[in-house]
Structure 1
Amino acid sequence: MLKRQPLVVEVLRGPAVESVHNVMVAVVNELGQLLHGWGNPSFGTFPRSAIKMLQALPLIESGAADKFGLDDKMIALACASHRGEKEHLTVLSQWAEKVGIAESLLSCGPHLPYNETSAHEFIRRNQKPTAFCNNCAGKHEAMITTCLHLGEDPHGYANYEHAAQKRLRNILTETMKVDHSKVPHAVDGCGIPTYSVPLQAIAAGMSIFVNSKASTLRKNACQRIIKAVTGNPFYVAGSDDFATAVIEKTQGRAIIKGGAEGVYAGFLPEKKLAFAIKSADGAGRAAQLATAQVLLQLGGMTVEEAKALSKFTMPTITNWKGEPVGKLRIANDQ
């Protein structure tokens, strides 16, 4: 089922539509072949943090995770956009100590925790955020850990020509079936290269996690990541986060990951489907609601589960007093 029209998210204030977001969707089977879509599945975009599970594959496949005895919380953090809560920072510190990584080696810039309570705590204590507070810190520790295991100098690991980034380009090329040495690239928010590829290719990349025909090495690595993520969804994001809530509520029947500028990607292990979603105007609120709709249509989330996640799946617009004044909805005939 391919629809030329995008999935339309309407924002209502009172009875009137105030804003409209167009969302493109690509759904593929376990071999990465397009099955369903809304809008233009070939739309080129940066996947941003939505593909961190793919970027974690070298940590497992190289043997680095085994060599350093990383636990599932650490592997989940390698796939995470963590919200800077105490538990996240504790495990990141334990990981760094276990491997022998100085926090100063991480090239991701510091920012206040995404979690509001944690950010307020930093401000009250007059603490300056460090690199571990960066939501991508786990991904960066994973790259450094892999470099150390392979005997590579980790300094400059975020640079395009470093072995760590060549390794990631190879992984993304293999899984997305698009040569990442020939596509446009830019710098992600955390400082590493990010690559503009068709939305369908992002979905195809995520299909490796449900691909029964993948090599034994890759299947084992994917299963280890799935186990870590489903067993520790809090470490994939954190409190009050859509991705964590979906993985928890569906008990891993739906695994999703968001990225900046209105991107989501994920897969349904039991149904052997994968998907990628992009809000044309970069609106995260639209991508989140569209993801919920796609999960419902694909059977990755039940109606009861969606109701239990109503703050995400049926979001309301409130005024500064917290009173409901509007809502978001999927337009009719979608």
Structure 2
Amino acid sequence: MHPVPLAATTRGYPDTGYVLENVHAGSVAVVDLHGRLLWQAGDPHYPTFTRSALKPFQALPFILSDGPARFGLARDELALLCASHSGEERHLAGVRSILGKIGLDDSHLECGCATPLYYEAVGEPAPQDRSWTPLHHNCSGKHSGFLAWCRLHGAPTRGYVERAHPLQQAIRDTLADTVGLPAAQMAVGIDGCSAPNYAMPLSRLAHLYARLAQGAADPQLGGAMGILCDAMTGRPDMVSGAERTDLFWMTAGGGDWVAKIGADAVQAIGVRSAGIGIAIKIQDGASRALHPATFSVLEQLGLLDDTRRALLERFRQPSIKNARGAVAGDVRSLFTLQSAN
């Protein structure tokens, strides 16, 4: 099996119509709570670097060690451990709070510096007179959780992103056990925030999210999954940010959907009531194709009532505008899910 066209961009004029210009291939996997494939498009087992969709599961060793109770982390702070946050003040304050509770500060973060995602999300230029620190990086919440694990276990805080560090070994081993794959079968690469990231079949990522959405009902990691799911669905604004897709997906889900995007066009969603997990990968990494594809999957699975459809309409077939604001085309989905039965 191979990736198939999932979305395309068009170009033209309203009075003459729009013509396909670019086609983005990809794959979709929809699985049940046992990991059985239900629906697919393209290659449902496409080897996929999980990127930031992995964040809740990178937090597992800390959760399993009773770290939140040890340091007194609140739900909004736990959501930040799973976040690709926008660098809004509430996010920065939350990361500072976590670091303060573990006796460290942002100088210990090894995620690097990055412009806050807020500006791109709301369509504003980033200030030119600002300098950014690791605190502003969208992964600083995850990294504060990494540091919390180090403090909890008396491990070195320097070099915690290195593959040989005890933290990263614990993450690798816990992930392999959770996903049911030998660690050697999960390709490893360096993520944008310098931490190790793992690849797995797209269907395995979907299964992780099917389980995450069940929270405390997960038979293997119930309590830990419950903590993570409740934090993410309870504070989607901390996981994501203003005008960001994960905030929209989880708000539309009303506590029933847990969602996390990953860089280079990865999206995972778990739906508690349906007992399913969804994972989507756009092969060329184009996020502009990811959002219409995600809307289409939710619609084809019958998960969008009128209220949800209205809230998420902006992602169905978003317009492409030029520098003057004129509509030059749109992005539209192309695929139909195929039953795996």
- What TM-score, normalized by structure 2, do the two folds share? 0.90
Counterparts of 1:298 and 1:190 in 2: how far apart (Å)?
A: 34
Counterparts of 1:86 and 1:129 in 2: how far apart (Å)?
A: 13
Q: CA deviation at 1:6?
A: 2.9
Paired position in structure 2 for 1:31: 34
2:327 is equivalent to residue 324 of structure 1:
yes
Query: CA 1:298–1:184 in structure 2 vs 1: closer, same or farther (change >3 Å)?
Result: same
2:53 is equivalent to residue 50 of structure 1:
yes
Q: Is the 8 A contact 1:263 1:276 kept in 2?
A: yes
Paired position in structure 1 for 2:23: 20
Q: How does 1:127-166 map to 2 (within 5 A)?
A: 127-166=130-169
Q: How does 1:32-111 map to 2 (within 5 A)?
A: 32-111=35-114
Tell me, which stretches of 5 or more residues in structure 1 are unaligned? none
Q: Secondary structure at the match of 2:127?
A: helix
Which one of 4, 7, 16 corresponds to residue 6 of structure 1? 4
Query: CA 1:5–1:136 in structure 2 vs 1: closer, same or farther (change >3 Å)?
Result: closer
2:282 is equivalent to residue 252 of structure 1:
no
Counterparts of 2:124 and 2:131 in 1: how far apart (Å)?
A: 12
Q: Is the 8 A contact 2:172 2:183 kept in 1?
A: yes
Paired position in structure 2 for 1:203: 206
Counterparts of 1:219 and 1:182 in 2: how far apart (Å)?
A: 25
Paired position in structure 2 for 1:239: 242
Counterparts of 1:187 and 1:93 in 2: how far apart (Å)?
A: 25
Q: CA deviation at 1:50?
A: 1.1
Q: Secondary structure at the match of 2:29?
A: strand
Counterparts of 1:162 and 1:20 in 2: how far apart (Å)?
A: 41
Query: CA 1:20–1:105 in structure 2 vs 1: closer, same or farther (change >3 Å)?
Result: same
Bigger drift between 244-253 and 113-122 goes to 113-122
Opposite residue 12 of structure 1, the aligned amino acid is T
Paired position in structure 1 for 2:15: none
- What TM-score, normalized by structure 1, do the two folds share? 0.92
Opposite residue 127 of structure 2, the aligned amino acid is I
Counterparts of 2:126 and 2:317 in 1: how far apart (Å)?
A: 32
Q: CA deviation at 1:226?
A: 1.6
- Any idea what the Cα deviations from partners look like across 1:290-324, whole Å, max 9, x if unmatched? 11111222233324312322222331111222222
2:121 is equivalent to residue 123 of structure 1:
no
Opposite residue 116 of structure 1, the aligned amino acid is Y
Counterparts of 1:53 and 1:158 in 2: how far apart (Å)?
A: 16
Q: Secondary structure at the match of 1:265?
A: strand
Q: Secondary structure at the match of 1:195?
A: strand
Q: Is the 8 A contact 2:233 2:257 kept in 1?
A: no
Q: CA deviation at 1:237?
A: 1.0
2:77 is equivalent to residue 112 of structure 1:
no
Paired position in structure 1 for 2:178: 175
Opposite residue 100 of structure 2, the aligned amino acid is E
Q: Is the 8 A contact 1:9 1:328 kept in 2?
A: yes
Q: Which runs of 4+ in 1 moved over 6 A?
A: 117-122
Q: CA deviation at 1:278?
A: 0.4
Count, aligned residues? 329
Counterparts of 2:141 and 2:205 in 1: how far apart (Å)?
A: 21
Counterparts of 2:232 and 2:324 in 1: how far apart (Å)?
A: 37
Q: Is the 8 A contact 1:175 1:206 kept in 2?
A: no
Q: Is the 8 A contact 2:211 2:270 kept in 1?
A: no
Counterparts of 1:187 and 1:280 in 2: how far apart (Å)?
A: 19
Q: Secondary structure at the match of 1:196?
A: strand
Q: Secondary structure at the match of 1:243?
A: helix
Q: CA deviation at 1:53?
A: 1.4
Query: CA 1:77–1:5 in structure 2 vs 1: closer, same or farther (change >3 Å)?
Result: closer
- Any idea what the Cα deviations from partners look like across 1:146-200, whole Å, max 9, x if unmatched? 1211222222111101111111112221222222234321110000111222111
Opposite residue 8 of structure 1, the aligned amino acid is L
Q: Secondary structure at the match of 1:123?
A: coil
Q: CA deviation at 1:141?
A: 0.7
Q: Is the 8 A contact 2:161 2:194 kept in 1?
A: yes
2:206 is equivalent to residue 214 of structure 1:
no
Q: Is the 8 A contact 1:50 1:265 kept in 2?
A: yes
Q: Is the 8 A contact 1:30 1:210 kept in 2?
A: no
Counterparts of 1:191 and 1:132 in 2: how far apart (Å)?
A: 15
CA RMSD of aligned residues (A): 2.2
Tell me, which stretches of 5 or more residues in structure 2 are unaligned? 13-17
- Any idea what the Cα deviations from partners look like across 1:77-102, whole Å, max 9, x if unmatched? 10000011111111111111111122
Query: CA 1:226–1:279 in structure 2 vs 1: closer, same or farther (change >3 Å)?
Result: same
Q: Is the 8 A contact 2:213 2:229 kept in 1?
A: no
Q: Secondary structure at the match of 2:246?
A: helix
Opposite residue 10 of structure 2, the aligned amino acid is L
